[in-house]
Amino acid sequence: MSRASITKAHEKIQELSWDPTFVTPVEKYATDYTFEKAPKKDPLKQVLRSYFPMEEEKDNRVFGAMDGAIRGNMFRQVQERWMEWQKLFLAIIPFPEISAARAMPLAIGAVPNPELHNGLAIQMIDEVRHSTIQMNLKRLYMNHYIDPAGFDITEKAFSNCYAGTIGRQFGEGFITGDAITAANMYLTIVAETAFTNVLFVAMPGEAAANGDYLLPTVFHSVQSDESRHISNGYSIILMALADERNRELLERDLRYAWWNNHAVVDAAIGTFIEYGTKDRRKERDSYAEMWRKWIYDDYYRSYLLPLEKYGLTIPHDLVEESWNRIWNKGYVHETAQFFSTGWPLNFWRIDGMDDTDFEWFEHKYPGWYDKYGVWWERYTEMSKKAAGGAPITFNAGADYEYPHRCWSCMVPCLIREDTVMDEVDGQVRTYCSEGCHWTDTVAFRPEYQGRATPSMGRLTGKREWETMYDGVDLAEVVEDLGYVRDDGKTTIPQPHLDLDPDKMWTLDDLRGYTVGSPNVALNGLSPEDRETAMQKYRRGGPGGRPAREPIAAD
Amino acid sequence: MSTTEAKPEATETPEGRNVPRPVFTDAEAGAKEFPSSTSRKYSYFEPRKRKASVYEDVTVDVQPDNDRHLLQGWIYAFADGSSGYPKEWTGLKSSDWHKFLDPNEEWEQTIFRNASSIVRQVQASVANASAAGSFETWAKSWTRVVEQHVGAWAHAEHGLGLYVYTPAQRDGPTNMINNALSVAATHKLRFAQDLILYNLDLTDKVDGFDGQAHMATWQTDPVWAGVREMVENITATRDWAEQFFATALVFEPLVGELFRSHFVMQVAAIHGDFVTPTVIGGGEADAAREQRGARHLFELLVKDEAHGPANVALLDEWAAKWAPQAEKAARLLQPIWSQIPEKTLRFEDSYDRAQARFSSQLSDLGISTPEGA
- Interval B326-352: pLDDT, tens: 999 999 999 999 999 887 889 999 999
Kindly list the residues from chain A whose CB atom is less than 8 angstroms away from the CB atom of residue B76: 169, 172-173, 175-177, 457-461
> What pLDDT, on a 0 to 100 scale, did the predictor assign at position A196?
87
Amino acid, single-letter form, for residue A306: P
> What pLDDT, on a 0 to 100 scale, did the predictor assign at position B252?
98
> What pLDDT, on a 0 to 100 scale, did the predictor assign at position B21?
83
What is the Cα–Cα distance from A12 to A471, expressed in whole angstroms? 65
What is the Cα–Cα distance from A470 to A466, expressed in whole angstroms? 6
What is the Cα–Cα distance from B189 to A117, expressed in whole angstroms? 11
pLDDT tens digits, one per residue of A199-258? 888 899 999 999 999 999 999 999 889 888 998 999 999 999 999 999 999 999 999 999
Task: Show which of residues 280-319 on chain B sit within 8 Å of chain A, judged by CB atoms.
Answer: none
Rounded to an integer, the average pLDDT of A113-139 is 95
Domain B97-364 is in which class?
mainly alpha
CB contact under 8 A, B116 and A56: yes
Q: Does B155 touch chain A (CB under 8 A)?
A: yes
Kindly list the residues from chain A whose CB atom is less than 8 angstroms away from the CB atom of residue B61: 155-156, 159
Which chain B residue has its CA at the smallest distance from A351's CA? B4
CATH number of the structural domain A49-464: 1.10.620.20
Q: Does B220 touch chain A (CB under 8 A)?
A: no
Reported pTM:
0.96
Q: Does A491 touch chain B (CB under 8 A)?
A: no
Domain range annotation of chain A: 49-464
- Checking if the pLDDT of A551 tops 60, the result is no
**Residues present in chain A in total:** 554
Facing residues of B204 across strands?
none
- Checking if the pLDDT of A62 tops 60, the result is yes
- Pairing between strand A451-452 and A458-459? unpaired
Which chain B residue has its CA at the smallest distance from A92's CA? B62
Please give the interface size between A and B, counted as residue pairs whose CB atoms are below 8 Å apart.
Answer: 364
| Proportion of chain B above pLDDT 90, given as a percent | 90
CB contact under 8 A, B169 and A105: yes
Q: Does B137 touch chain A (CB under 8 A)?
A: no
What is the Cα–Cα distance from B320 to B316, expressed in whole angstroms? 6
Rounded to an integer, the average pLDDT of A180-190 is 97
CB contact under 8 A, B3 and A78: no
Facing residues of A514 across strands?
A473
Question: What phi, psi does B28 have (nearest 5°)?
Answer: -95, 155
Of B23, B73, B74, Cβ closest to residue A77: B23
For chain B, the three-class secondary structure string (H helix, E strand, C coil) is CCCCCCCCCECCCCCCCCCCCCECCCCECCCCCCCCCCCCCCCCCCCCCCCCCHHHHHHCCCCCCCCCCCCCCCCEECCCCCECCCHHHCCCCCCCHHHCCCCCCCCHHHHHHHHHHHHHHHHHHHHHHHHCCHHHHCCHHHHHHHHHHHHHHHHHHHHHHHHHHHHHHHHCCCHHHHHHHHHHHHHHHHHHHHHHHHHHHHHHHCCCCCCCHHHHHHHHCHHHHHHHHHHHHHHCCCCHHHHHHHHHHHHHHHHHHHHHHHHHHHHCHHHCCCCHHHHHHHHHHHHHHHHHHHHHHHHHHHCCCCCHHHHHHHHHHHHHHHHHHHHHHHHHCHHHHCCCCCCCCCHHHHHHHHHHHHHHHHHHHCCCCCCCC
Rounded to an integer, the average pLDDT of A392-403 is 96
> What pLDDT, on a 0 to 100 scale, did the predictor assign at position A388?
74
pLDDT tens digits, one per residue of B114-150? 999 999 999 999 999 999 999 999 999 999 999 999 9
CB contact under 8 A, B162 and A108: yes
Of B26, B155, B183, Cβ closest to residue A16: B155
> What pLDDT, on a 0 to 100 scale, did the predictor assign at position A200?
80
pLDDT interval class at A358 (50, 70, 90): very high
Rounded to an integer, the average pLDDT of A266-270 is 97
Q: Does A52 touch chain B (CB under 8 A)?
A: yes
Rounded to an integer, the average pLDDT of A393-420 is 97
Indicate the burial class of B317 (C-beta count within 10 angstroms; 0-12, 13-18, 19 or more): middle
- Checking if the pLDDT of A553 tops 60, the result is no
Task: Show which of residues 232-251 on chain B sit within 8 Å of chain A, judged by CB atoms.
Answer: 232-233, 235-238
Per-residue exposure over A168-205, b if at least 16 CB sit within 10 Å of its own CB, e if not: bbbbbbbbbbbbbbbbbbbbbbbbbbbbbbbbbbbbbb
> What pLDDT, on a 0 to 100 scale, did the predictor assign at position A502?
96
Q: Does A84 touch chain B (CB under 8 A)?
A: no
Which chain B residue has its CA at the smallest distance from A466's CA? B72
Q: Tell me what the pLDDT averaged over chain A comes to.
A: 95
- Pairing between strand B76-77 and A458-459? antiparallel
Report whether A436 contacts A409 (CB < 8 A): yes
pLDDT tens digits, one per residue of A3-34? 668 889 999 999 999 999 999 888 889 999 99
Facing residues of A412 across strands?
A405
Closest to A229 in 3D by CA, of A188, A258, A276, A172: A188
Q: Does A180 touch chain B (CB under 8 A)?
A: no
CB contact under 8 A, A30 and B79: yes
pLDDT tens digits, one per residue of A282-299? 999 999 999 999 999 999
Rounded to an integer, the average pLDDT of A388-405 is 94
> What pLDDT, on a 0 to 100 scale, did the predictor assign at position A201?
83
Show Cβ contacts of residue A420 under 8 Å, excluding neighbours closer than 6 positions: A430, A431, A432, A433, A434, A436, A437
Report whether B147 contacts B138 (CB < 8 A): no
- Checking if the pLDDT of A109 tops 60, the result is yes
Report whether A331 contacts A321 (CB < 8 A): no
Amino acid, single-letter form, for residue A133: I
Q: Does A160 touch chain B (CB under 8 A)?
A: yes
Per-residue pLDDT tens listing for chain B (373 residues): 344 455 555 667 778 888 888 899 999 999 999 999 999 999 999 999 999 999 999 999 999 999 999 999 999 999 999 999 999 999 999 999 999 999 999 999 999 999 999 999 999 999 999 999 999 999 999 999 999 999 999 999 999 999 999 999 999 999 999 999 999 999 999 999 999 999 999 999 999 999 999 999 999 999 999 999 999 999 999 999 999 999 999 999 999 999 999 999 999 999 999 999 999 999 999 999 999 999 999 999 999 999 999 999 999 999 999 999 999 999 999 999 999 988 788 999 999 999 999 999 999 999 988 876 5
